[in-house]
């Protein structure tokens, strides 16, 4: 059997079975990041994310934007756990005939981005390859009893999301289909220069009232499925409440696309979805509001399993379009 016959999900299951979890390993394979207990009240949170040019770089992406993206994808995984970043390291493979200037500009983009998030690139490894391949690893600290998990959702919790959804995917569509950017510059920017919700993750963790979170890097539907499976709960969201980016709606109308393809089934918005008991919602919302971030309740956690969406009067199961690799 080839990898494209078994698919990514089977590979992840195989990894979960193969790699044993020792005592210091608080969180192993299966969440946005791993966590290892340190002496004292903190744990080390670590994650890795690889960008391969042919799969991950949209047309016309600038080297600085490649640098930014390679930082953000990793910081977003720390944000999902509520961890405070300590630093990042990068293994970078590049073709021999790449322009030096291009490589230097990737580094500048990384540095500018880590400065923005008040963290550091502390090391790396260089190699040769036919296409640019950037594997980053980020590490941070979280309190052991405050870490945000995919498995932390509980019956009765409300489910909320930061910011707005769909912009990054619509931006990718514009770039891939060479659609004029005019009026949609913000969508293109959301794709090329994403943000990680680092301070928001730390606020959620510090509140003590949020136990479950994940980012929407795989798309809202796929990440809700992760939450549902890992927490052993049923999630019901309301389509009307999903905070779709207003330009995504306009763009979809104008070009005849399905808004759901952007807001539900595509990733890279790097917003956080999280759950909290309803009585804490107002204080959590306020804490996020203080740093300028809007959060919206889009659903609830109930007994059962699966992810469902209310559309008008009907409720249907939400399609899980995760596990994109080796399909």
Angle between helices 246-255 and 167-176 (to 10 degrees): 40
Angle between helices 246-255 and 185-192 (to 10 degrees): 110
For a second copy, which residue of 58, 63, 90, 309 counts as binding (CB under 8 A)?
90
Binding part of the chain for a second copy, among 99-107, 173-181, 201-209, 245-253 by CB under 8 A, reads 99-107
The span from the CA of 322 to the CA of 14, in Å, is 17
Residue 123, strand partner residues: 89
In our burial notation (b when 16+ CB lie closer than 10 A, e otherwise), range 132-156 reads bbbbbbbbbbbbeebbbbbbbbeee
For a second copy, which residue of 57, 117, 139, 274 counts as binding (CB under 8 A)?
139
For a second copy, which residue of 79, 110, 198, 227 counts as binding (CB under 8 A)?
110
**Cβ closer to a second copy: 39 or 312?**
39
**Cβ closer to a second copy: 152 or 243?**
152
61 binds a second copy (CB under 8 A): no
The span from the CA of 169 to the CA of 259, in Å, is 10
Binding part of the chain for a second copy, among 39-47, 154-162, 176-184, 253-261 by CB under 8 A, reads 39-47
As given in the structure block, the two tokens for residue 271 are 């917003």
Rounded least distance, CB 167 to a second copy, Å: 23
Size of site (CB under 8 A) for a second copy = 82
Binding part of the chain for a second copy, among 136-144, 178-186, 250-258, 278-286 by CB under 8 A, reads 136-144
125 binds a second copy (CB under 8 A): yes
The alpha carbons of the chain give a radius of gyration, in whole angstroms, of 19
Give the torsion sign (CA, 117, 264, 283, 27).
negative
Binding part of the chain for a second copy, among 27-35, 247-255, 259-267, 286-294 by CB under 8 A, reads 27-35
For a second copy, which residue of 63, 69, 83, 97 counts as binding (CB under 8 A)?
97
Rounded least distance, CB 16 to a second copy, Å: 10
For a second copy, which residue of 61, 87, 116, 296 counts as binding (CB under 8 A)?
87
Q: For residue 316, report the phi and psi dihedrals to the nearest 5 degrees.
A: -130, 160
Rounded least distance, CB 270 to a second copy, Å: 15
* Interface positions, 2-21, toward a second copy (CB under 8 A): 2-6, 8, 10-12, 14-15, 18-21
Q: What is the DSSP letter of 318?
A: P
Q: Which residues contact 19 (CB under 8 A, 6 or more apart)?
A: 28, 29
């Amino acid at each position: 059997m080839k990898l494209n016959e078994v698919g990514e999900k089977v590979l992840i299951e195989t990894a979960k079975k193969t790699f044993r979890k020792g005592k210091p390993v608080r969180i192993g394979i299966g969440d946005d990041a791993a966590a290892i207990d340190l002496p004292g009240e903190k744990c080390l949170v670590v994650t890795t994310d690889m960008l391969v040019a042919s799969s991950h770089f949209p047309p016309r992406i600038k080297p600085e934007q490649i640098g930014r993206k390679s930082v953000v994808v990793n910081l977003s995984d720390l944000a999902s756990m509520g961890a405070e970043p300590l630093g990042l390291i990068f293994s970078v493979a590049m073709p021999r005939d790449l322009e030096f200037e291009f490589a230097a500009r990737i580094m500048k983009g990384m540095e500018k981005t880590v400065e923005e998030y008040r963290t550091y690139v502390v090391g790396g490894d260089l190699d040769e390859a036919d296409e640019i391949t950037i594997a980053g690893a980020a590490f941070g600290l979280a309190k052991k009893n405050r870490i945000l998990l995919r498995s932390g959702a509980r019956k009765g919790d409300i489910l909320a999301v930061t910011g707005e959804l769909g912009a990054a995917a619509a931006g990718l569509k514009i770039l891939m289909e060479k659609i004029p950017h005019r009026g949609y510059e913000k969508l293109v920017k959301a794709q090329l220069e994403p943000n990680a919700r680092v301070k928001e993750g730390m606020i959620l963790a510090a509140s003590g009232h949020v136990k479950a979170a994940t980012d929407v890097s795989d798309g809202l539907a796929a990440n809700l499925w992760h939450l549902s499976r890992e927490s052993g709960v049923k999630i019901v969201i309301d389509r009307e409440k999903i905070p779709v980016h207003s330009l995504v709606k306009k763009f979809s109308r104008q070009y005849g696309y399905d808004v759901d393809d952007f807001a539900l089934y595509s990733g890279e918005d790097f917003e956080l979805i999280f759950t909290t008991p309803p009585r804490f919602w107002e204080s959590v919302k306020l804490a996020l509001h203080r740093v300028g971030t809007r959060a919206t309740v889009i659903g609830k956690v109930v007994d059962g399993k699966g992810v469902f969406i209310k559309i008008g009067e009907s409720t249907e199961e939400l399609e899980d379009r995760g596990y994109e690799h080796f399909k």
